[in-house]
Amino acid sequence: MEQRIGFIGMGNMATAMAQGFLRAGKVRPSQLYAYAPHQEKLRTRAKELGFTPCRSLAELIDCADLFLMCCKPGQIEGILGEIASRLPGKVLLSVAAGWSYDVYRPYLLPGTRFQFIMPNTPVMTGDGVLLFEDRHTLMEEERLQILELFRCLGMVRELPSALMGIGSTISGCGPAFVDLLLEAFADAAVKYGLPRSLAYELVSQTVLGSARLQLATGKHPAQLKDEVCSPGGTTILGVDALEKAGLRAACLQAVDAVMQGRH
């Protein structure tokens, strides 16, 4: 029997995951269902992606067997109050920040199979990071099937509960931090004459290639940097300027700000 996936909420993250599943051919549009309170927007997105829009949470629960809680964290308690009694025997995966296994546990009835996960937006193209909390109530075979399904969206890693916060800060907030760097370097390229569209292409491909090189070789980033910096060359002048501008400190401060904001 084909797995039917239901999205509770259909914002940017849910859309990115749905597009990723469809792009990879792991599911067909007919296997995807979604509910969101803004029905007109939901129907518009359904026409774009091909999933089935549901008019209520009750209808969604009837249509699917694996659910992705993709709504805002502040909406979850109310949603669970409406559907918790109908979840035993089904699988619920939640992508809402802060709603870990321990937070969910008081709201779920026995027999509900649950796991907290944190994806990031590059799942849309299969280049995402998906963090799965290692505490869950899934059956082992089921857990392995879910991990395999989500690998089509990118790198999948299971983390202890205590590390989900920092893990999701790096992978979940990280795209926004990288996007700032892409924009800044593209602005510099435009300053010196490159057309903006070409500037974005060159900068994005350079970041992508550099990241893939590190993953493929396993080399320390400092070693890869040193391999580009010739003695007395031009690259080391730029590296020196970045160091003086406090790039490393700014990165550390960005992560500190997110982590402190979680508490």
In whole angstroms, give the CA distance from residue 47 to residue 95: 24
* CATH class held by domain 5-159: alpha beta
pLDDT at 230: 96
Domain spans of the chain?
Answer: 5-159, 168-261
Quick one: pLDDT at residue 239?
A: 98
pLDDT at 198: 98
Half-sphere exposure of 124 (CA within 13 A, CB side): 10
β-pairing verdict for 113-119 and 128-136: antiparallel
Task: Name the pTM for this structure.
Answer: 0.92
CA–CA gap between residue 249 and residue 260 (Å, rounded): 16
Q: Quick check: do 5-159 and 168-261 share a fold?
A: no
What is the per-residue pLDDT for 10?
Answer: 95
Rounded distance, CA 126 to CA 241, Å?
34
Asked whether 109 and 126 are in contact (CB, 8 A), the reply is no
Find the length of the chain.
Answer: 263
Give the 3-state DSSP-derived string for 104-129, with helices as H, strands as E and coil as C. HHHHCCCCCEEEEEEECHHHHHCCEE
Distance CA 95, CA 120 (A): 10
Asked if residue 120 lies in contact with residue 174, where contact means CB atoms within 8 angstroms, the answer is yes
Answer whether 130's CB lies under 8 Å from 118's CB.
yes
- What pLDDT, on the 0 to 100 scale, is given for residue 1? 55
* Architecture label for domain 168-261: Orthogonal Bundle (1.10)
**pLDDT by 10s per residue, the chain, length 263:** 578 999 999 999 999 999 999 999 989 999 999 999 999 999 999 999 999 999 999 999 999 999 999 999 899 999 999 999 999 999 999 998 889 999 999 999 999 999 999 999 999 999 999 999 999 999 999 999 999 999 999 999 999 999 999 999 999 999 999 999 999 999 999 999 999 999 999 999 999 999 999 999 999 999 999 999 999 999 999 999 999 999 999 999 999 999 998 87
